[in-house]
Amino acid sequence: MSKFWSAFVHGLVPYVPGEQPKIANLVKLNTNENPYGPSPRALAAMQAELNDSLRLYPDPNSDLLKQAIADYYGIEKACVFVGNGSDEVLAHVFHGLLRHDKPILFPDITYSFYPVYCGLYGVASRQVPLTESFEIDLEQYPEDNGGIIFPNPNAPTGVPLPLSAIEALLRRNTESVVVVDEAYVDFGAETAVGLVARHPNLLVTQTLSKSRSLAGLRVGLAIGQPALIEALERIKNSFNSYPLGRMAIVGAAAAFVDRDHFGQTCRAVIESREALVVELDGLGFEVLPSAANFVFATLPGTDAGWLAQQLRERGVIVRHFRLPRIDQFLRITIGAPEQNAALVTALQAIVG
């Protein structure tokens, strides 16, 4: 059937999402889902929206949600864009803000959707190597570029950048857009949202999938000055005027209002992460410093692919990337305490 494809489809290399196996009693630590449920206020808001109004289209501008985000960060609603998961938001960013004559820059080890978007939208790119300690060094990002994008903290390493390094980059890189992808920022890194007012070329993207436990709802956002947001709105309204349904709009808005649940959840994940790092250290693992809801760990002298397979045989799934420089690391999602305990027990049986 490929004879019916458009010519460019043959050259695409799609993103490969984390496995979602349908196996009972599985300890699933491979896709960075939050082990704790969504805000009760978010669930109540969605249940209340489950009525006859579903026959009507949702608000194409998602004003309720944009206002909730604006209120949370103390910014103007005109500085907020929302979409169907941060992946869709990032797609619009690549299409609307990063497609220029000069190549964009991003780390060589980072979110693997970035090169996929480059292929999809014809964006030239250049990868900047992480340091030997797997840190992003923004001093190595030259000013002559078509844009810069990186996660903070980085994925899949979990290593964060200080806000001072991002601001230093913005001071010297003023002629292209800088995108800070903050999918995991709430687990220990500093958000760059506070820099938006001073830097018209800064765009910050976030998701509700991780820290707000709404991966199944598909809600993402971007924050930037209105000129950048207008570009994204133009792309969105040329692609899909209704990216968020009624349930997503009210549920996500309520999640931003419920600060107590959000704070409790983040603290619980952080505490579990630090406890797991101690356990992994005790088993001989080397663990990169993480500000995310996962850790990136290697066990010297033990093949990571073999270790991932041994864990799987014991009902524990983690993520293994068969990529240069990181093929001996495992990315392990922070689960609930009992899931983390099951992981440690399995590791003790394998390597203890």
Global confidence as pTM: 0.95
DSSP characters over 286-331: EE----SSEEEEE-TTS-HHHHHHHHHHTTEEEEE--STTTTT-EE
pLDDT at 76 over 60: yes
* Residue 22 sits in the same domain as residue 51: no
Query: Given pLDDT bands bounded at 50, 70 and 90, which one contains residue 13?
Result: confident
Instruction: Print the domain residue range for 110.
Output: 40-258
Long-range contacts of 18-22 (CB under 8 A, 24+ apart): 18/319, 19/317, 21/317
Residues 226 and 304 in one domain: no
For residues 103 and 182, state if they share a domain: yes
Paired tokens of 193:
């949202």
Report phi then psi at 188, rounded to 5.
140, -5
Residue 7: its pLDDT value, please?
85
* Residue 111 pLDDT greater than 60, yes or no: yes
- Give the position of tokens 């864990």: 311
Categorize the per-residue pLDDT at 1 as very low, low, confident or very high, splitting at 50, 70 and 90. Answer: low
pLDDT tens-place string over residues 115-172: 999 999 999 999 999 999 999 999 999 999 999 999 999 999 999 999 999 999 999 9
Same domain, 272 and 209: no
Q: Are residues 272 and 250 in the same domain?
A: no
Domain CATH code at residue 98: 3.40.640.10
Position 304 scores a pLDDT of 98
The tens digit of pLDDT for each residue in 256-283 reads 999 999 999 999 999 999 999 999 999 9
Q: Kindly report the average pLDDT of the chain as a whole number.
A: 96
| Single-letter amino acid, residue 346 | A
- 13 is a domain residue: yes
Q: Is 160 exposed, middle or buried (0-12, 13-18, 19+ CB in 10 A)?
A: buried
Q: Please tell me whether residues 229 and 340 are part of one structural domain.
A: no
Q: What is the pLDDT of residue 2?
A: 81
- Rounded to whole angstroms, the Cα distance separating 204 from 195 reads 9
pLDDT digit string, tens, across residues 297-324: 999 999 999 999 999 999 999 999 999 9
pLDDT at 194: 98
Same domain, 48 and 123: yes
pLDDT score for 83: 98
Residues whose CB is less than 8 angstroms from the CB of residue 51 and which lie 6 or more positions away in sequence, other chains included: none
| Number of compact structural domains in the chain | 2
Q: Strands across the sheet with 286-287, in order? A: 27-29, 316-320, 330-333, 294-298, 286-287
Span 218-237, average pLDDT: 98
**Rounded CA separation 206/216 (Å):** 15
CA distances from 51 to 45, 244, 250, 262, 296 (A): 12, 17, 13, 27, 44
**What secondary structure does DSSP assign to 213-229, as a single string?**
S-TTT--EEEEE-HHHH
Considering the domain architecture, whether residues 168 and 222 belong to the same structural domain is answered as: yes
Give percent of the chain above pLDDT 70: 99
Residues 229 and 285 in one domain: no
141 and 221 fall within a common domain: yes
CATH number of the domain bearing residue 345: 3.90.1150.10
Q: What is the CA radius of gyration of the chain?
A: 20
What average pLDDT does this structure show over 58-77? 98
Tell me the pLDDT tens digit for each residue of 185-212: 999 999 999 999 999 999 999 999 999 9
User: Are 69 and 217 in the same domain?
Assistant: yes
* Percent with pLDDT over 90 in the chain: 92
Nearest CA among 212, 223, 156, 210 for reference residue 183 = 210
pLDDT (0 to 100) of residue 9: 87
d(CA 190, CA 169): 15
Containing 333, the helix (H) or strand (E) segment is: strand 330-333
User: Does residue 226 fall inside a structural domain?
Assistant: yes
